[in-house]
Amino acid sequence: MIMGFDPLYFLFALPGLALALLASMFVRSRFAHYSRIPSARGLTGAEAAQVMLSRAGVREVSIEMTNGFLSDHYDPMSRTLRLSPDVYRSTSLAAIGVACHEAGHALQHATGYALLGLRSALVPATNIGSTLSYIVIAIGFLLQRPQFILLGALLFSLVVLFAVVTLPVEWDASARAKVSMVQAGVVTVAEAGDAAKVLNAAFMTYVAAAVSALLTLLYYLLRAGVFRRDD
């Protein structure tokens, strides 16, 4: 039995895939829309993040430009905000929203927000667990050994845990951004509402990833016979 030909797999994989695709289209369309609307004060994304961090008294974070589309992230190891060109240079509400969201992660780090630390700590284990799980599960399906599929499912549960821990971290970073951009005078209240629409759309991609991971785990557990009653 090869996983790809199992109709049950598609039943579990398709909702997650569809949700991820929809969320990705949603965030791209909202980002594109609010990329055309400049803020009144005219700060770039990089400047907005800098103002927000300075006002919060966070000085040790540097802001750099990085390549890619929506590749923006905060690197806790080097305490660096890396903003994509479309966010770094642009004065649009979309750019300011994304930049301030990333600054929100830097604020989480500076204030010792525990879940950010947990998420960072989970990264190496999640990467290993993810790779190993696919190998072990493939062996389990090839050799028809449910024990291997179960072991793979346990390894894959790290991926689920990471995706679930990511949700409050991302929500909190956006919540900090929504409040701080107004308090720091980067945007008006109305503008912050529009910038928040981009961030809310971005949050949907994390929800989709978590749902997708959870459904995949359920599928593995099902194939491992965990839900079987007759034995």
Interface residues with Zn ion (CB under 5 A)? 170, 173
CB of 41 to Zn ion, least distance (A): 23
Which is nearest to 177 in space by CA: 202, 157, 149, 155? 202
Catalytic residue from among 47, 102, 170, 191: 102
- Angle CA 165–24–49, to nearest 5: 65
**Nearer CB in complex with Zn ion: 106/151:** 106
**Nearer CB in complex with Zn ion: 86/170:** 170
**Nearer CB in complex with Zn ion: 3/202:** 202
Catalytic: 102? yes
In the chain, the amino acid numbered 163 is: A
- Angle CA 150–153–156, to nearest 5: 155
In the chain, helix, strand, coil percent, each to 5? 75, 5, 20
Which residue(s) pair with 191 in the sheet? none
In the chain, the amino acid numbered 161 is: L
- The DSSP call for residue 5 is G
Which residue(s) pair with 81 in the sheet? 63, 74
CB of 58 to Zn ion, least distance (A): 16
Largest separation between any pair of C-alpha atoms in the chain = 69
CB of 222 to Zn ion, least distance (A): 32
CB of 101 to Zn ion, least distance (A): 6
**Nearer CB in complex with Zn ion: 161/173:** 173
Catalytic (active-site) positions: 102
